[in-house]
Every structure is written in structure tokens, then in C-alpha cells.
Amino acid sequence: SKFTGRSRVTIYDPQIIDADHSGESLAGLLAHAIERQCISVVYQPIIQLGTEEIIGYETLMRLKGNNGRLVKPDIFIPVAEQNGAIVELGAWVFEQACADVARYKLDGVIAVNISAVQLKAPGFALRVAEMLARHGLAPAQFALELSERGDILGQSQAAQTVEQLRKLGVQIWLDDFGTGYAGIDCLRRFELDIVKIDRSFLPDGRHPRDVRMLTGMIQLLRSLGRTVLVEGVETVEQKRLLEELGVDLAQGYLIGRPQPVSEFIGDQKSEVA
Ligand code: C2E
Ligand code: CA
Ligand code: CA
Ligand code: CA
């Protein structure tokens, strides 16, 4: 019958239940993502407010389902964390970032998202050191963005690994500050180079309560000597507010969307041999 196999009609959200339209689970897709070249990395610029200078880029993972459509990280990252696939996928992103930096002589800091599950995996710091050395890159050019999903950062193994990474010379940034994934508690436990305030704290308008909340967070961080980055800047008005509040760094669609390295190497082409 013509209603068998792949042509059968099903009603589902392909991003959640069936990432590839052929019955393979998201977990299955993740398990083969590297060999099937379904994952890639995009870069989003980070600027210094005031000077507008691009000081670096955040790497973000992209996963393509077999139907060719992107699966949202908010959907696949938690699954990859749950089944452990994030360890290899995260290492692949770091390796790719190293290769791009070395190949295109990218300037500025490259901030890589690191899941707490990766931190807990044995030998993580060694693996980072090995990749940097193999590509001939300075550890200080890389930042690891840590966020706390499932309270793993609180475990001593993770704290030890963060200490090893710090000794290696990579920067340690705190992601999603202000949310349940990265609370005030993390400020006490980790020495952090930069703290990223979650975009949920960036107001749309200038509602006094929202502005006071953001102002207070910024003051707290500055009084602790932290450099403050606010992410999710979408409007000129938001950027202006951050400038007024003395925020150091900003990131968001207004400033630049995440894009493949091929989209911005044009700016630096003169440096490519
Ligand atoms: P995140 O680390 O907080 O990353 C910022 C997210 O905000 C990204 O979503 C980015 O595309 C998006 N974004 C940037 N500017 C704006 C803006 O102006 N407005 C709005 N509305 N969004 C903006 P994305 O790429 O979908 O990633 C979602 C989350 O998935 C990330 O949140 C991070 O927690 C996780 N993730 C992404 N890539 C990786 C990775 O390589 N490793 C790990 N462990 N997690 C990753
Ligand atoms: Ca991040
Ligand atoms: Ca974030
Ligand atoms: Ca976030």
C-alpha cells in the first residue's frame, strides 16, 4: 500500500519526537551526528560597549535532522546531557573552534559552552589542554562558559576540573547568571573572569522595577570585581540602557547573529596566508 513505510502520515512535532522523519529517535541522531556530519558550529560576536569593538565570539552548536531542518539546541542539548552524548559533541565543537581559529587566525576570545556533564567526565581538562596544544593555540584565547544544569557544578569533581582549567590558563565565564542554572551561589564558589547576565533580565522597555533589578545585578557583579556581559540585546533602546548602566560587554541579534565562520572571515581575510 502507498501508506506504508516512509510515506505514512504522522502528526507530531519533528523537533521533539522524531528528529529525522524516518523513525530514528533524537538520541539515535545524536549518537551518529559527528560521523554523519550533522553537527556544525556557528559564531556570535561579542562587543565592548562604547568602543563597539568585537572582542570575541561565542560558539553555538547546530544539529541538522535527516529532514535537513535544524533541531533547536534547547531540545537536543538536554537529551545529549541526559544520555552522555554531550561529552563527544562538546569536544567536537571545541576541536572545530580550535581548527577555525588556527586556520583563519581569528582574533579575540572564543567562548565555548561547556555542559556540567562534560566537566564531570574524567580527563576533561587534559583533553582541552591537548586540543589547544595540538593546534598551537594560547589557552587564554579561549573561555569556557559554565552553566549549572542539574547542580553538577556543586560537586567536588567539577570544582577540581575548573581549578585545573584555570591553571591551564583558559578563561572561566559564568553563563545564564540570575537563572536557576547559575545563581548567586556560583559567584562565591568560582573565580570567574566574566559573568553573563541572562537575557531574561534585559527589559523590553524601561519599567522601573525591571531596570532596578538589572541595575542591582550589575552593581553586585561590579562590586565583586567581575566583568559584566549582557546577552540577548535586540534593540537599540536596550543597548543604550546597558551603556548607561556601565555594562562592559554585550551580545545579541542587534549586534550580530550566530553565523558560520565562512560568513565573517571576509573581515580578516588579509591575515589568511
Ligand atoms: P546560551 O548559552 O544562553 O546561548 C545563547 C542563546 O541565545 C543562543 O541560542 C543564541 O542563538 C541565542 N541568542 C543570541 N542572541 C539573541 C538575541 O538577541 N535574542 C534571542 N532571543 N536569542 C539570542 P541557541 O543557539 O539556540 O542555544 C540555546 C542554548 O543551548 C544555549 O544557551 C546553551 O545553553 C545551549 N548550547 C548551544 N550550543 C551549545 C554547545 O556547544 N554546548 C553546550 N553544552 N550547550 C550549548
Ligand atoms: Ca552561553
Ligand atoms: Ca547564556
Ligand atoms: Ca540562556
Handedness of CA 51, 53, 59, 60 (dihedral sign): positive
Which stretches of 62-207 are DSSP H helices?
A: 73-83, 86-104, 116-120, 124-134, 156-168, 184-189
**What is residue 69's DSSP assignment?**
P
Cα first-last separation, the chain: 58
Looking at residue 174, its pLDDT comes to 93
Which residue's CA lies nearest to atom 27 of ligand 1?
Answer: 73
Which residue's CA lies nearest to atom 8 of ligand 1?
Answer: 60
> pTM of the full predicted structure?
0.90
Confidence tier at 152 by pLDDT (50, 70, 90): low
What's the 1 CA to ligand 2 centre distance in angstroms?
48
Going by C-alpha positions, the residue among 197, 200, 217 that lies closest to residue 147 is: 197
Which residue's CA lies nearest to atom 3 of ligand 1?
Answer: 176
**What is residue 244's DSSP assignment?**
H
pLDDT (tens digit per residue) in 26-56: 999 999 999 999 999 999 999 999 999 999 9
Residue in the structure block whose three cell numbers are 542591582: 216
Which residue's CA lies nearest to atom 24 of ligand 1?
Answer: 73
Q: Which amino acid is at 172?
A: I
Instruction: Please count the helices (runs of H) and the strands (runs of E) in the chain.
Output: 9, 9
Reading the block at residue 37, the C-alpha cell is 556530519
pLDDT (tens digit per residue) in 233-273: 999 999 999 999 999 999 999 999 999 999 988 765 444 44
Judged against a pLDDT cut of 90, whether residue 141 lies above it is answered with yes
Q: Which ligand is nearest to the CA of 46?
A: 1
Q: Which of 15, 30, 60, 119 to mutate to test the pocket of ligand 1 (most atoms within 8 A of CB)?
A: 60
Task: Measure the CA–CA gap between 197 and 221, rounded to whole angstroms.
Answer: 10
Contact 113 CB / ligand 1 (< 6 Å): yes
Q: Which atom of ligand 1 is the closest one to the Cα of 86?
A: 44
What's the 233 CA to ligand 4 centre distance in angstroms?
12
Reading the block at residue 186, the C-alpha cell is 556560583
